[in-house]
Amino acid sequence: MNDGAGTPQAREVPRKKRRTRGFWVRQLHSWHWISSAIAMVGLLLFTVTGFTLNHAADISAEPVVRDGTATLSATSLAALNAPAGETGTQDEAARPIPDDVRAELSETTGLSVRADDAEWDDAEVYLALPRPGGDAWLAIDRADGAITWETTDRGWIAYLNDLHKGRDTGAVWRWFIDIFALGSLVFIGTGFVLMYLHSRNRPATWPVTGLGLLVPVLLALLFIH
């Protein structure tokens, strides 16, 4: 009795399934290597800085402190002391330094003077300039235009550690971290699905995966209080 299993139509069904499965496997491989290429440098950076952060107390670095003084030009001093309303804001206590004054300050001090809110009072204007791997600040005497500034450099390891934490890195670096995190998720997700598809021929897949989950869970439960 012929049940149709040997007909061309019946043989076509497994072929379609194989083609469909092959298509998706190829897509997963493509997305896996593309996301790994995107995330590779970030993974290297965050792996290395994860180690240096974990051993921060063992990695000593002597901060290098530099300071300087200068005098603001009369034109910039007048712009600095202009009433708050003329600078486009009503808050005298916290507002950015005018653009022309910031340009002169950057040229005079060598610092990157950003348009962040400065602290204003009757005597001086103070601007904090934190940055990865260091710190900086400047103060301007509103009476005579005397500029005082100081920079602190804690070294390249501190710089990389601050990149890891996103500390004082600005919006562009935060966007990079978000894109890197998304790429890493695609890399992990496609890797997991590929692992599932090939696990039938690799019996150790799930025991090793389970061990990778179990070890940090046990360490957290037993040794972190």
User: DSSP string spanning the chain?
Assistant: ---STTSHHHHHHHHHHHHHHHHHHHHHHHHHHHHHHHHHHHHHHHHHHHHHHHTGGGS----EEEEEEEE--HHHHHHHTS-GGGGT-S-SSEEEPPHHHHHHHHHHH-S---SPEEEE-SSEEEEE--BTTEEEEEEEETTT-EEEEEEEE--HHHHHHHHHHTTT--HHHHHHHHHHHHHHHHHHHHHHHHHHHHGGG-TTHHHHHHHHHHHHHHHHHHH--
Predicted confidence at residue 23, as pLDDT, reads: 82
Asked if 144 and 169 sit in the same domain, the reply is no
Q: Do residue 79 and residue 43 come from a single domain? A: no
Does 55 map to a domain? yes
pLDDT recorded at residue 89: 45
Instruction: Tell me which of 120, 154, 188 is where a domain ends.
Output: 154
Q: Is 5 part of any domain? A: no
Please tell me whether residues 40 and 120 are part of one structural domain.
Answer: no
Same domain? For 68 and 144 the reply is: yes
Judgement on whether residues 136 and 163 belong to the same structural domain of the protein: no
Alpha-carbon distances of 97 from 89, 152, 182, rounded to whole Å: 11, 22, 37
- Shared-domain flag, residues 68 and 150: yes
As a whole number of angstroms, the distance between CA 124 and CA 144 comes to: 10
Residue 29 lies in a domain: yes
Q: State which residues form the domain around 94.
A: 64-154
Are residue 100 and residue 148 in the same domain, yes or no?
yes
User: Residue for token digits 């997991």?
Assistant: 192
Residues 188 and 219 in one domain: yes
Distance separating alpha carbons of residues 39 and 181, to the nearest angstrom? 8
- Residue 8 domain-assigned? no
Q: Assess whether 69 and 178 both reside in one domain.
A: no
Residue 188 lies in a domain: yes
Q: What is the pLDDT of residue 87?
A: 47
Same domain, 148 and 70: yes
Integer Cα distance of 36 and 59 in angstroms: 30
Q: Which of 131, 154, 177 is the last residue of a domain?
A: 154
pLDDT in the model for residue 216: 92
Count of domains for the chain = 2
Residue 2 lies in a domain: no
Asked if residue 11 belongs to a domain, the reply is no
Whether residue 209 is contained in a domain is answered as yes
Q: What is the phi-psi region of residue 4: left when phi exceeds 0, alpha when psi lies from -120 to 50, beta otherwise?
A: left
**Do 97 and 179 have their domain in common?**
no
What is the chain's pLDDT, residue by residue, as a tens digit (225 residues)? 555 555 655 556 577 777 777 788 888 889 999 998 888 889 999 999 999 999 988 888 889 999 999 999 999 999 999 876 554 444 467 899 999 999 999 999 999 999 899 999 999 999 999 999 999 999 999 999 999 999 999 999 999 999 999 999 999 999 999 999 999 999 999 999 988 888 888 889 899 999 999 999 999 999 997
Residues 68 and 145 in one domain: yes
Domain end among 154, 180, 198: 154
